[in-house]
């Protein structure tokens, strides 16, 4: 079996080599890029299974890198944020990042996050068991990993897809934010429930007109 490839986009040499060392020790193949441009080039060429992306890069903003990555890939992205700024996290998640970690961090913690993101992505194919899920004109195909409205494909990030999948599986049921966090992000996710709200808003916009995600006051959400 070939090794799982991780792309690390980080210009700080000491952090990059430190993180790469930990990932390699855990059996991952690691490509490192010190600029956003180089990172995008490697992402296209090497097709990594996950990307670790620093927000502060010399040539471009990490958000721009994420936006460009998302144009043609739903590879899981973990962002490295230097500040503990909530807005950075929300913007990152809105752009399709799957998780974030604040510097300074323990590299073992980052490796755990990478594994958790990969587990969720890899488990995704089996979860649906080939059963297409539908709500009105909205369809979700777990095997092909596709969402469509009246046959027209809708582009979703990995996390948005997982979230919609879980909502469709539990259609009509009120789901708490905590429950969504645990099932969609995994029990080991350390973010807060605001992450759920950000993703719900994204999914809501994308499926508007076809299906409605209702806010259950004081509790969570429900797909009608
Ligand atoms: Ca940096």
CA of 34 to the centre of ligand 1 (A): 8
Residue 189 has pLDDT above 70, yes or no: no
Count the Cβ atoms, other than its own, within 10 Å of residue 7. Answer: 25
pLDDT of residue 128: 44
CA of 11 to the centre of ligand 1 (A): 5
CA of 195 to the centre of ligand 1 (A): 24
Q: Give me the CATH topology for the region 5-125.
A: Rossmann fold (3.40.50)
146 CB-near residues (< 8 Å, 6+ apart): 140, 153
CA of 43 to the centre of ligand 1 (A): 18
The answer to whether the CB of 92 falls within 8 A of the CB of 7 is no
CA of 161 to the centre of ligand 1 (A): 30
CA of 61 to the centre of ligand 1 (A): 10
Residue 124 has pLDDT above 60, yes or no: no
204-216 burial, b at 16+ Cβ within 10 Å, e below that, comes to bebbeebbebeee
Q: Give me the CATH topology for the region 129-223.
A: Arc Repressor Mutant, subunit A (1.10.10)
The alpha carbon of 151 is separated from its chain's Cα centroid by a whole number of angstroms, namely 25
Residue 196 has pLDDT above 80, yes or no: yes
Residue 196 phi/psi, 5-degree rounding, is -65, -45
Residue 175 β-bridge partners: 221
CA of 81 to the centre of ligand 1 (A): 9
How do residues 154-180 score in pLDDT, each as one tens digit? Answer: 999 888 999 999 999 888 889 999 889
CA of 9 to the centre of ligand 1 (A): 9
Alpha-carbon distance 173 to 201, whole Å? 18
Looking at the chain, the domain(s) classified CATH 3.40.50.2300 span 5-125
């Amino acid at each position: 079996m070939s090794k799982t490839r991780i792309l690390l986009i980080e210009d700080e040499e000491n952090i990059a080599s430190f993180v790469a060392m930990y990932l390699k020790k855990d059996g991952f193949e690691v490509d490192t890029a010190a600029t956003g441009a180089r990172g995008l080039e490697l992402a296209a060429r090497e097709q990594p299974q996950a990307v670790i992306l620093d927000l502060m890069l010399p040539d471009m903003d990490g958000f721009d890198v994420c936006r460009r990555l998302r144009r043609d890939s739903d590879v899981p992205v973990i962002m490295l944020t230097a500040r503990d700024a909530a807005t950075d996290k929300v913007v990152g998640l809105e752009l399709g990042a799957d998780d974030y970690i604040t510097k300074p961090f323990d590299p073992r913690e980052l490796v755990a996050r990478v594994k958790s993101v990969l587990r969720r992505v890899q488990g995704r194919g089996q979860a649906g068991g080939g059963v297409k899920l539908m709500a009105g004109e909205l369809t979700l195909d777990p095997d092909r990993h596709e969402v469509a409205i009246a046959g027209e494909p809708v582009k979703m990030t990995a996390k948005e897809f997982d979230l919609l999948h879980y909502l469709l599986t539990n259609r009509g049921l009120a789901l708490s934010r905590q429950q969504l966090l645990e099932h969609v992000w995994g029990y080991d996710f350390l973010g807060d429930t605001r992450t759920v709200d950000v993703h719900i808003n994204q999914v809501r916009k994308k499926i508007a007109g076809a299906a409605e995600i209702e806010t259950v006051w004081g509790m969570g959400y429900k797909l009608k």
